[in-house]
Amino acid sequence: MRLSRWVPQTIRIRLTIMYAALFLVAGTALLGITYALVASLPVKVPPVTNAQAKLAFACKLGKGVHPPAAKCSRALSAVGAHEAATEQRNQTLGHLMVYSLVGLGVVTAVSGGLGWLMAGRALRPVSSITAAARRASERHLGERIALQGPRDELKELADTFDQMLERLDGAFAAQRRFVADASHEPADRHAHRDRGHPGKAGPHARAA
């Protein structure tokens, strides 16, 4: 009972949520694939060898045997370039994730609005059928939906409903004719009996 309170009660809302959820799932999968592909791209700088990393570490410490300045400069430049490229790629991946999530949220909201409009357009024949069913009664069975459009399931449903109304209209018309004929039959019999027995007049005739 409590769960049913949180479930949308109209098909239009459920269809809108389903459209938005499907788009969100598809967008999330596409975002994950794109992020993984970008993250797997190598850094566009030469890789740092173990010797260059050890030499750069020794140059930074400045203890023990001092390597030549030229070698220190090359090692430190290689390590610095690799670290800068790695940091740049991490920032790019972070910006890509943030912008993609924001864009995914905005597009998901837009898809929900479009799904609301599409669901309303698709369910419009159902509203016509419901309105016709509410207007239909024993005295008003001439109502027809006469739905125009492609021969889809809703068109078939509307045509079936029109045929049902037509059969009900014919059945009620036949019933009304039967009741009218049945009510006229005793009067016809009484008039025929009076014509067959003219001496048997009613009390008013004898009093006259």
Beta bridge partners of 163: none
The count of C-alpha atoms lying within 13 angstroms of the C-alpha of 69, restricted to the half-sphere facing its C-beta, is 0
- What is the pLDDT, as a whole number, of residue 164? 85
Q: What is the pLDDT of residues 160-187, one digit of tens each?
A: 888 888 888 888 888 888 888 777 666 5
SS3 158: helix
User: What's the mean pLDDT in 14-21?
Assistant: 91
* Residue 56 near residue 73, CB atoms below 8 Å: no
* Ranges of each domain in the chain: 1-122, 137-193
- Say what percent of the chain tops pLDDT 70: 79
Q: What is the pLDDT of residues 31-88, one digit of tens each?
A: 999 999 988 887 777 777 777 777 777 777 765 556 677 777 777 778 888 888 888 8
- What is the pLDDT, as a whole number, of residue 110? 94
Sequence-separated (6 or more) residues with CB below 8 Å from residue 160:
none
**pTM for the full model?**
0.58
